[in-house]
Amino acid sequence: MMKTINLSLNNPAFQDERFRFSYIFAQDDLKTSLLLSGLIYPPWGIEEKKGKFILVSGWKRVVVARELGWKEIPFLVIQETKPEIIWVKLIAENKAHRQLQMVDKAFIIKKMLKMGISRERIKKGICSLLEIPPLVEWISFYEHLAELERETIKVIAAKNLPEYIVRLLFDYAQEERQALIPWLEHLSQNKIKEVLENLQEIALRDQLRPAQIISAFRALEGDRKGEKDLARQAEKWREHLKEKRFPCFQATFLKFQSLLKEINWPPEIEIKPSPFFERNDLRVSFEFTNENELKHMASKLLTLSQNKKIKQLFFGKSPKK
């Protein structure tokens, strides 16, 4: 049995966050939708005791409605009081129209544990709904994720970071993560993985704390303000770590790039050295859609092969004059 009532947005029902798990979301689209169509699906919750309501589903709509200056909204009340059953309904409803993110699952597990629902109950009845392995170790992983600082959680959600990269972040102290986040938020998922792995390896090899490596780089570059500077600094930080971890490879790679520029290697023809320049072989590839394009590319390669400096790509002796 259900009933619909109107509730003021100042009602305590919208302050009790025991069932809230969506803290990080884009508001613009939802704001536009509410302005154009109004509130099509009202938030729903329970009546814990007479006159005391608790919001279960619809936190995003409530947050945006407040920002729009609404005074009250319709509120659907369901007749249920068992927390585990309510969570099952809430998870099923959300899964019906979107894929739950890793961060969502983390806050769901955190809130369920806080309500006294045991890890064993979560393992048996909730893990399958959340599409995570029914193991205590995985429940602990999501608990740990939910306890991270908000800035780190925002990057995990925004970049949709996989479990492997999140576990890399666990290995860093809070102050180290907070120092890294302004750079990581400007890097792609693969580059974030690269940075975290390289920083770990350098710290282990050189017997330094990651914080010391970060401080040394900042002293070298100087702290810069502004988003554009941070984006450039993030790339410099990534390159710095590559040079520190693989000094010989990085020097060789830069020399290789310089030679390509010197002989005017065409960008439409891809050239790849062997991994870490282990061998003196190069892989060349290009695309063509007809015979003329094939001949044109072949002609470019023939011209390049006649350039005396081409031999330097194999890092042999300089060509004789």
Within 13 Å, how many C-alpha atoms sit on residue 190's CB side?
0
Q: Residue 146: pLDDT above 90? A: yes
Q: Residue 278: pLDDT above 80? A: no
Residue 209's pLDDT is 94
Cα–Cα distance, 18 to 20 (Å, whole number): 6
Mean pLDDT of 272-300: 87
Q: Domain map of the chain by residue range?
A: 1-81, 171-245, 248-314
| pLDDT tens digit sequence for 8-39 | 999 999 999 999 998 887 788 888 888 888 88
Confidence of residue 227 (pLDDT cuts 50, 70, 90): very low
Phi first, then psi, for residue 283 (nearest 5°) are -110, 125
Confidence of residue 225 (pLDDT cuts 50, 70, 90): very low
| pLDDT tens digit sequence for 61-119 | 999 999 899 999 999 999 998 999 999 999 999 999 889 999 999 999 999 999 999 99
Span of 103-117, 226-240, 294-308 with lowest mean pLDDT: 226-240
Mean pLDDT of 276-305: 88
Greater pLDDT, 144 or 263: 144
The DSSP code for 8 is E
Give, in order, the Cα–Cα distances in Å from 101 to each of 80, 110, 135, 161, 172.
Answer: 26, 14, 19, 10, 22
Residue 24's pLDDT is 80
Rg over CA atoms, the chain: 28
- Cβ neighbour number for residue 134 with a 10 Å cutoff: 14
Q: Residue 243: pLDDT above 90? A: no
Residue 179 burial class via C-beta count within 10 angstroms: exposed 0-12, middle 13-18, buried 19 and up: middle
Span of 24-33, 115-124, 200-209, 265-274 with lowest mean pLDDT: 24-33
Q: Residue 275: pLDDT above 80? A: no
Q: What percent of the chain has pLDDT over 90?
A: 68
Q: Residue 316: pLDDT above 80? A: no
* Total count of residues recorded for the chain: 321
Residue 57's pLDDT is 95
Cα–Cα distance, 295 to 288 (Å, whole number): 9
Chosen CATH of 1-81 out of 3.30.565.10, 3.40.47.10, 3.50.50.100, 3.90.1530.10: 3.90.1530.10
Residue 186 burial class via C-beta count within 10 angstroms: exposed 0-12, middle 13-18, buried 19 and up: buried
Q: Residue 202: pLDDT above 50? A: yes
Mean pLDDT of 230-243: 91
Q: What percent of the chain has pLDDT over 70?
A: 94
Q: Residue 319: pLDDT above 50? A: no
